[in-house]
């Protein structure tokens, strides 16, 4: 059986969500997948009138939910293989253990990954030639909430030390 390609995964304009999105919980607010996740969240925070403390809490919740909706929260072989395909690992590893090992060698910015899954035509997945390049990009405001990342098996594998 041939390995899946990113085209197989993104059959439509984005990786389909599996349930109502985080954004749909807020009356009168509409998601816009043509702008980055951070900008959508900023619009929502203004729409809701959240304090700084509330923004921090809801930002983690929104980012975690968006990743879960696009790539899942269950540690299944299919989910791990989809993640490998998206980040460019070919051939696709045949086991979860081998997928995790392959992902360890990749520098993937999680916010960029989510934006890519939300709208692959607008947001290309950034491929970093070095750890320093990845680190510099991430420090420029593309940081996924660490505590939220640790709660998801996929995200946990993508965590890297930045500071």
In the prediction, which pLDDT does 13 show? 45
In the prediction, which pLDDT does 9 show? 55
Q: Return the percentage of the chain with pLDDT > 90, whole number.
A: 64
95 compared with 76, residue with greater pLDDT: 95
Question: Is 32 domain-assigned?
Answer: yes
Cα–Cα distances in angstroms (integers) from residue 162 to residues 67, 149, 155, in the given order: 20, 14, 15
CB 15 within 8 A of CB 21: no
pTM for the model stands at 0.85
Question: Is 128 domain-assigned?
Answer: yes
Fill in the DSSP letter of residue 101.
H
Question: Is 119 domain-assigned?
Answer: yes
User: How many helices and strands (H and E) does the chain possess?
Assistant: 9, 0
Question: Is 136 domain-assigned?
Answer: yes
Based on the structure, what is the number of domains in the chain? Answer: 1
Question: Is 67 domain-assigned?
Answer: yes
Question: Is 163 domain-assigned?
Answer: no
> Is the pLDDT reported for residue 14 higher than 80?
no
Question: Is 102 domain-assigned?
Answer: yes
* Residues of the domain holding 115: 6-158
């Amino acid at each position: 059986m041939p390995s899946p390609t990113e085209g197989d995964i993104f059959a439509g304009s984005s990786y389909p969500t599996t349930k109502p999105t985080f954004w749909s919980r807020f009356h009168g607010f509409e998601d816009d997948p043509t702008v980055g996740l951070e900008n959508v969240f900023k619009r929502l925070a203004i729409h809701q009138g959240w304090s700084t403390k509330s923004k921090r809490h809801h930002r983690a919740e929104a980012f975690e939910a968006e990743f879960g909706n696009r790539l899942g929260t269950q540690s299944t072989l299919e989910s791990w293989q989809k993640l490998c395909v998206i980040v460019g690992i070919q051939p696709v590893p045949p086991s979860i253990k081998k997928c995790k090992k392959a992902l360890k060698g990749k520098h993937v910015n999680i916010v960029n990954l989510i934006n890519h899954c939300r709208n692959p035509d607008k947001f290309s997945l950034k491929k970093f030639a070095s750890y320093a390049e990845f680190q510099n990009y991430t420090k420029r405001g593309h940081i996924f909430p660490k505590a939220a990342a640790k709660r998801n098996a996929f995200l946990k594998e993508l965590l890297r030390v930045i500071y």
